[in-house]
Chain A
């Protein structure tokens, strides 16, 4: 009995002593999760006293929780709209929230069709049709037309989308809204939309997992998830008329225009970007950082991390198939770090 009391008080003491480390918690997008988990692991190795814990829960959760103040920073691939920014400011006595782009990534249409071992071509009409539920079979003329020589089965298409609030969804629906009037009026863009058809998976991880297990399914995931799981993903037709596969070059090409036209708050959409080699469903992804951080140790840690991320961090992106930020954006961002008080 005495021993138990002793152990309990020791435990309570250990808990009460302030940790020497700086502990920062963030949550949000699953889109850049492989990159962030690598970065924060590496950063901890270099700075053992700074621990940045990142939980991938979806961009929606990132926005909601950073607004609620339960986490130190959020992450999202769909930039916060004006209403959401105002809500943040209302809850945090006037301080605003800042967007910091970290990497460039791409949403790819990944699929699992027994018998098909090549990368299919998808036109904008095809993708809109599939996700609207109007194209229901794999051997629909729209798909067959774009893929001569590929034997597409007459099976029903199983659409998989995100069940949770997702920046990946934002990117995908942003693209579909730009290429399909019907999509724009019927569904629109957002982190959480009313899907006309399909099954819901949790996170990029869940969608990838669901597609892997469902024959004749298709869904949209971030490029790295398709690559890491050795899944096929299609080429998408860009505004210039080319069928482009998502990779470092095509994603970087999509951001070329944005680099020069980047607004001060870094909120920009690069889907359906012009350029012959540009991949049309590319996007920046952002860290959502409050402009005012009360704890000086946390503020210093976050500011230092951002600096590291813009220099060393950018060298690690290609290994995970994310494209690094254009130089102009890095320069602009480095100056913007000073906005964090």
Chain B
């Protein structure tokens, strides 16, 4: 039976609650959104006691459903001022699900200067004073924790940036091997909210736990098998090599950074602070380049090489799009993972074309507890403002290292998010929506994602409206042909589908094979329905989540005027297509008209 843990940091107490029957279907994003909207004052200061951190494993986490171990974290965002959900892989979702936790609600804030950690096991919760965990890099921290606890626990928490309440901070998570704290629920500054509760880590031990059981085992199993088969045979999500030993699955071979070259060819790769759609050195920092580096170091160092592709971000992920980037000279781990959005934010976006520099910037972000997308865009503001030059990876690394110094103003600013840094440095081209920086797809040639950036409750976020869903719905839902849909209807539809997937625990990339395979789509739905023992309509479920989020933001003072892209996207044509973002305000407003 799943439970909810409520932690009160005012008096360092906790209590267990059963999941109300009417909320039995809530998990992942649906859970965090419900509790944030129901319990957090929309007008509260996001970094003070009245905000709450809500954590929930996706519905299917811990089960044998493939690639279903995502963890959602929600709160009022200090970056956007609105509701936020960010999710990630890692170990914690599986650990929490196996000890029967549907969610954790952390409220209040302690007085004093002490730092705490929450230690969770089956039916147990301890709030420990862990001052020795604060103020240190996260690579050291996760190593220290696994040395102390031999159960190989899941770890999430905030790094130096979050502990200092800086708004570029994400929630880190350890990876399966505990070699890197790089599994980030990165966006929205949620690391700073956890820091405001004086919590450094949440450590979860499932050694006494058990695998969650579906209510309709046969249906679940049928769906699971169908989805596994669909994922494995698809050329994007499928096996590493074909029967002839040649590269097959795109994600296993090249990771999400397969997109670096693709978006570059499409002319939609934001380069040099969103001033061009093509980057001359895209190939050097691409997924292909990482694949090649891994192969080279394997050849050179054999089994001692720590470079990997086809690396799973959480237990049970069969798509394995993560990677581990090695140092060329030693074959030892440099950073894991190097995702597309990170390689873009810290590479093409800054004009940095050296893979080593990009990996080093990513490692620093992981160590400091920073969201790579926000950090990359923030460094771009230093470049745009003339403090350091575009293309200078060494200067960018030096700048980011200042963040370790608690007295450095530059160090604080580089952790404070794109909007704050841009405005402080006199920049007028600041790529944010609702205070959150844009990710790796320029909205001028790719207008669909621009509509999502503008209208999502989350601030500019590509995952909020996973555009693949347009085709899923167009083919398999009630909508029969996306060509007949208004842009607004379509954007709303795929934002709703994304909210469903974010609640299920599935990684968004399962949607990729579902696009091409009816049985995969049925598999996703059957596992969800079979687990909960009830049929849910995908769009309807997702729309309820979106309505909750819209309600919170409305009560926090957001209006349709907040659903806009920055002016320069409307006025500066982006080469090579030389187009601007020309979707009208009226069309943007239609996306959530009446919601």
Chain B binds chain A:
no
